[in-house]
Amino acid sequence: MYRVGVDVGGTNTDAVVLEGKSVLAGVKASTTEDVTSGVLEALEKVIAASGIDRAKIAAVMIGTTHFTNAVIERRHMDEVAAIRLGLPSGAGLPPMVDWPDDLRDIVGNHGYQVKGGYEFDGRVLSPLDEDAIVRIAGDVRAKGLKAAAVTCVFSGINDAMERRTKEILQEQCPGLPVVMSKDIGRHGLLARESAAIMNASLLSLADRTVTAFGKALTAAGITCPFYITQNDGTLMAADVVRSFPVLTFASGPTNSMRGAAFLTGIKDAVVVDVGGTTSDVGSLSHGFPRQASTTVDIGGVRTNFRMPDVFSIGLGGGSLVVNTDSGVTVGPKSVGYRVRTDAICFGGATLTATDIAVASNKADVGDRALVAKLDQTLVAAAMLKINQMLEACVERSRISSTPVPVIAVGGGSILMPDRIGDLEVIRPENFAVANAVGAAIAQISGETDRVFSLIDGRTRETALAEAEAEAREKAVAAGALVETLEVIEREDMPLAYLPGNATRIHVKVVGEMGAHHG
């Protein structure tokens, strides 16, 4: 049986076919406005290139930056109700308080605050004001809002008020999609609430997009289930994405790093993805990207999704090389995707990082004769500068002083030297479609992240066990094979500045997908 991975990016749609651990074929097509035709073209191309029987495809995994791009470009977002349960807490900081004005306007700025919520130890902060929810429902009908997002203080400890609010809203407004924050985000009210609101406003786009993916598969005669990759490199059933589009926000860099790990068989490494304008650098640990510990900005909004800790620098194949009074500079300006026409080695007139790589015999693209006349001191100085930039960002991404290899992927990785400091550089085959490979190999996960009160005989150890059981349950419900589950993250953090009676626990488990036989 085969697995097909598809990466739907802003410019290209890539596809690969995997059989076990080997990549049978990898192709690129252009992303189209309707999504369907681009995916269909990529699927047809990759099936032809690999020569497989399409009836033997066990599963299709799709990675997409569609929803992230919608927020960044402020497109396809609906007006929604943003309801917070927690008064009197947070009275001075209404929903969307720290959003950029234009984005707040696009989702309509319909923020509501009502009484409700819990304390950190599970006590009720305020009883839920059900009459207020009924009044909000009337407002939702009057304004014709498309969806609602409900966020309750400490819903990670008790989700009863979020569920009750959803129930009332749907009684009053039949068919209204209601997003509960406990399903989306983690501890940290403003960031979780923002994620829930963005999710609600992307629901109709998610519905259209998943339908478009389904259409492409049907048109290609593929009948197996399909999945979409989420931020942590694991899969969601396609229908789940109709309800949770924001969980795909960081799947792009995750897939490229996981793909790099798979293509090389290396589980601990620094991955450098060199594109035309920027390079993204991150660390792999046990085959998964290291996660960022701080908040991550999406389209100007603070969120607390678990996202890979990726560091970007303005260096790519198309970066401009300029000789100034104070030395040679490389980037951040770039000719981008026009490198194949504008760079000197391709007959253009702009000196780019690619020309420097060709002139120093590091790469063999374009016409070497065209760069033969370049000043050798300039070439040497630019090459040194490129190496220094790459070395600095690789150093920054290392997890420990133990030497690990550096994996170079992406079209611009010809710039990479053979060694960076004391580290060896590896360039796998199929480096240009690492994203689609990452999608093809994604696994299924389950996660718990909330505060546990250590009362009524519950100890730190029993709380950890409870958290793990919850995470396993979620993974199995999402389609993982129970015998393949393993814990990949486990941390607990006693609440600082308080006598020790509560602790925040985060556990994540992953496993292989169950529906292997199609």
Partner 1 sequence: MAEARKLKYDEADLRTLTVEDLDALEIGAGILGTGGGGNPYQGKLLALQAMKEGYEMKILATDRIEGDALCMSIGGIGAPVVGVERLREGREGLRCLRAMEDLIRAPIDAMVCEEIGGANAINPLVTAALGGLPMLDCDGMGRAFPEMQMTTFSIYGHSSTPSVMCDLHGNAVIFSHAVSEVWHERMARACVVAQGGGAMLATAPMQAHYVHQYGIPKSYTKAIALGEAVIRARKAQEDPIAAVCALEGGRRIFNGKISDLKRHLRGGFSVGDIELTGFDDCTGQSAGVAIQNEFLIFRRNGEVEVTVPDLIVLLDVDTGYPITTEMLRYGQRVAVVAIPCHDLLRSARALEVVGPAAFGYPEIAFSPLPALAQTAA
For residues 258 and 272, what is the distance between their CA atoms, to the nearest angstrom? Answer: 12
Cβ proximity to partner 1, 148 vs 189, nearer residue: 189
Q: Which two tokens stand for residue 248?
A: 């795909």
Name which of 433, 513, 463 is nearest 157 in CA terms: 463
Structure tokens at 273: 């993805």
Dihedral (Cα; 381, 385, 391, 397), 10-degree rounding = -170
Strand 57-64, strand 2-8: pairing:
parallel
Closest CB 165 distance from partner 1, rounded Å: 18
The smaller minimum CB distance to partner 1, of residues 243 and 329, is found at 329
Which runs of E-coded beta strand occur in 209-278?
Answer: 226-229, 235-237, 269-274
Of 25 and 502, nearer to partner 1 (C-beta) is 502
**Tokens 């590091």 label which residue?**
362
Determine if 501 is a binding residue for partner 1 (CB under 8 A): yes
Query: Taking the CB of residue 213, how many other CB atoms lie within 10 A of it?
Result: 22
400 counts as binding partner 1 under rule CB under 8 A? yes
- The only residue of 38, 117, 308, 479 in contact with partner 1, by rule CB under 8 A: 117
Q: Is residue 397 classed exposed, middle or buried when 0-12, 13-18 and 19+ CB atoms within 10 A define those classes?
A: buried
In sequence order, the β-bridge partners of residue 296 are 303
**Residue (33 or 497) nearer to partner 1, CB:** 497
b/e map 483-507, b = 16+ CB within 10 Å: eebeebbeeeeeeeeeeeebbbbbb
Q: Which of 438, 421, 449, 453 is nearest to 507 (CA)?
A: 449
- Residue 126 CB, shortest distance to partner 1, in Å, is 8
CA dist., res. 348 & res. 66, Å (int): 33
Kindly identify the residues of this chain, within the stretch 413-472, that bind partner 1 according to CB under 8 A.
451
* Minimal distance, residue 26 CB to partner 1, in Å: 32
In three-state secondary structure terms, 280 is strand
> Which stretch in 170-178, 185-193, 255-263, 408-416 sits in contact with partner 1 by CB under 8 A?
185-193
Interface with partner 1 in residues 325-364 (CB under 8 A): none
Closest to partner 1 by CB, 61 or 152? 152
Nearest CB to partner 1, comparing residues 66 and 104:
104
Give the shortest CB-289-to-partner 1 separation in angstroms.
Answer: 14
Site for partner 1 in 148-167 (CB under 8 A): 153-154, 156
Q: How far apart are CA 80 and CA 95, in angstroms?
A: 12
Q: Is 409 in the site for partner 1 (CB under 8 A)?
A: no
**Is residue 200 within the footprint of partner 1 (CB under 8 A)?**
no
CB of 99 to partner 1, least distance (A): 11
Check residue 213 for interaction with partner 1 (CB under 8 A). no
**Segment contacting partner 1 by CB under 8 A, of 14-22, 113-121, 215-223, 506-514:** 113-121
Distance CA 482, CA 485 (A): 6
Q: Show the site string, 366-395: x = touches partner 1 by CB under 8 A, - = not.
A: --------------------------x--x
- How many residues touch partner 1 under the rule CB under 8 A: the total is 42
Q: What is the C-alpha separation between 513 and 24, in angstroms, rounded?
A: 21
Task: Give the single-character DSSP code of 140.
Answer: H
Site string for partner 1, 67-86 (x = CB under 8 A): -------------------x
Nearest to partner 1 of 116, 233 (CB atom)? 116
By CB under 8 A, tell whether 322 contacts partner 1: no
Candidates 34, 98, 171, 364: give the one binding partner 1 (CB under 8 A): 98
Q: Is 496 in the site for partner 1 (CB under 8 A)?
A: yes
CB-based burial, 230-244: b 16+ in 10 Å, e otherwise: bbbbbbbbbebbbbb
Residues in the chain: 518
Query: Which C-beta is closer to partner 1: that of 113 or that of 354?
Result: 113
Q: In this structure, what token pair is assigned to residue 399?
A: 């997890």
Q: Which residue type is seen at 330?
A: V
CB of 303 to partner 1, least distance (A): 13
Residue 286 contacts partner 1 per CB under 8 A:
no
What is the layout of strands, in order, in the sheet containing 12-19? 22-30, 12-19, 2-8, 57-64, 226-229, 235-237
Q: Which is nearer to partner 1, 155 or 334 (CB)?
A: 155
Residues that bind partner 1 (CB under 8 A): 86, 88-93, 97-98, 117, 119-120, 123, 125, 153-154, 156, 187-190, 293-294, 392, 395-401, 451, 493-501, 504
